Amino acid sequence: MKASKNSTVKGQTLLRQRNVSVVIDKINSEGPITNREIENTTGISFAKVNTITTMLNKIGLTIESGKEESNGGRRSSLFQLNPNYMYTIGCQLSHTRIHVIIGNLKGQILFESYKPFNKSDGKDSVMKLLVDTIKNLMKTSGIPREKYLGIGVSIAGLFNPKDEMTLPFPHLVKWGNVAIKDIIENKFALHCYLNNVANAAALAELNYGAGQGKDSILYLNIGTGLGMGIVLNGKLYEGVSGTAGEFGHISIDDHGPLCECGNLGCLEAVASTKAVVNQAKTLLKQGVSSVLLTMTNDDPDKLDFELICQAANESDKLAYNLIDKMGQNLGEGIVTLINLFNPSRIILGGKIISANNLINNSIFNIVQKRALEIPRRNTEIVFSEMGSRSGTIGATVPIIEKFFQDQITDCIN
């Protein structure tokens, strides 16, 4: 008898948890929305919906944002999420700069700061820069400390999800393992969430960007390095050791250039923005004619990827050919991904956004020719509209998810 009673209580608790979760998700994704609309689309009774929304309004997580248009009867209240109920801090540590944001519960950026660094500065200097940038942005925002839920950090490197220790950064010499989580938590007394940049960007796209409404997406972070975030059946896939998605280290040429990972002919060594810039520098120093020399005042070492894109848009032959070849190489890699994962959408992001209109055709032509027909027909290839911010915004997604889960638990208790 006692076991039966406990089972009944547990079942009722799970049902309440499910109801609260559904209502919060409905308001978050479709608000402003009425209680009646929630009832009609979820199957939860009006009385229960009303109880939940009243409770959510009372704690401030949702707000009443007006009344529905009149249909002759009493107008119902419209409810929406209060995005500024709490705040998050997101950080991205890339190969050359730190990006820090303060965002709300909708993933919207309210404050942000960029800080460049040189990899020769060393671990301690860069970690201090990260901490100082967070401190200064918090001060600038004027937001009370107790309103922050946590700090998310995405890194252009690997980390072990078991001990949350970052592994040696291939692009940052002599750093070794770095306890970023411990450093941040000790400095700010806020929980720190770590992720790889590409994984974080995939979460941002899934929740706020080009991945919305899709449950199987691949996000390709194409910049100085090449990374990939994998979302399968609506969940981030990280692999056994948290290192899944190293798209840039697929070897495509055994006689190709040396990659910073130590292997020859990796895709990253021929199709990253850094690789394209290095190729351009080499050709210019060999005497190949190009407007790029004028653009850099005859100093190829001042060259960057954005200048190459600008020159290509001005019909410079050298720049155009380099971008075209980059697209072909990326296309070869994407063919493998389409055949292997059969995703609904592949999202291209990172610095490659600068070459959007230049590189489209060369990528798509290779995919059209070489990918298997059935998966190719069911895969869209699009460019991110979030730019380089996706990895920083995505760093806050686990914080927000944890917050909503805690709210559901608090509500049913």
Model pLDDT, residue 279: 95
Q: Which residues contact 146 (CB under 8 A, 6 or more apart)?
A: none
- Note whether 249 and 158 are within 8 A (CB): no
Euclidean distance between CA atoms 353 and 325, whole angstroms: 16
The number of helix segments (H) and strand segments (E) in the chain equals 15, 14
Going from N- to C-terminal start, the domains of the chain cover 2-82, 87-203+392-405, 213-385
- Note whether 99 and 388 are within 8 A (CB): yes
Model pLDDT, residue 71: 64
> What's at 136, amino acid-wise?
N
Euclidean distance between CA atoms 81 and 27, whole angstroms: 6
Q: Which of 1-15, 47-61, 100-114, 166-180 has the lowest mean pLDDT?
A: 1-15
> Which residue has better confidence, 252 or 235?
235
Residue that has been written with the tokens 């500024």 in this structure? 84
Q: Which of 252-266, 281-295, 331-345 has the lowest mean pLDDT?
A: 252-266
Euclidean distance between CA atoms 398 and 273, whole angstroms: 29
Q: Which residues contact 312 (CB under 8 A, 6 or more apart)?
A: 319, 320, 322, 323, 355, 358
Model pLDDT, residue 4: 53
CATH of range 2-82; options 3.30.1050.10, 1.10.10.10, 3.50.50.60, 1.10.287.130 = 1.10.10.10
pTM: 0.89
> Which residue has better confidence, 222 or 253?
222
Model pLDDT, residue 314: 94
Euclidean distance between CA atoms 206 and 214, whole angstroms: 7
Q: Which CATH architecture has domain 87-203+392-405?
A: 2-Layer Sandwich (3.30)
* Tens digit of each residue's pLDDT (9 = 90 or more) over 369-385: 999 999 999 999 999 99
> Which residue has better confidence, 72 or 206?
206
Check pLDDT > 60 for residue 67.
yes
Quote the CATH superfamily of domain 213-385: ATPase, nucleotide binding domain (3.30.420.40)
For residue 250, CA distances in Å to 246, 332, 350 come to 8, 11, 19
DSSP code string of 52-104 = HHHHHHHHTSEEEEEEPPPSSSPPPEEEEE-TTSSEEEEEEE-SSEEEEEEE-
Percent of the chain residues topping a pLDDT of 90: 66
Q: What angle do CA 387, 388, 392 make, to 5 degrees?
A: 120
Euclidean distance between CA atoms 129 and 187, whole angstroms: 13
Q: At 116, is the pLDDT very low, low, confident or very high (cuts 50, 70, 90)?
A: very high
Tell me, yes or no, if the two domains 87-203+392-405 and 213-385 fold the same way.
Answer: yes
- Note whether 256 and 264 are within 8 A (CB): yes
Instruction: Tell me how far the alpha carbon of residue 163 is from its chain's centroid.
Output: 22
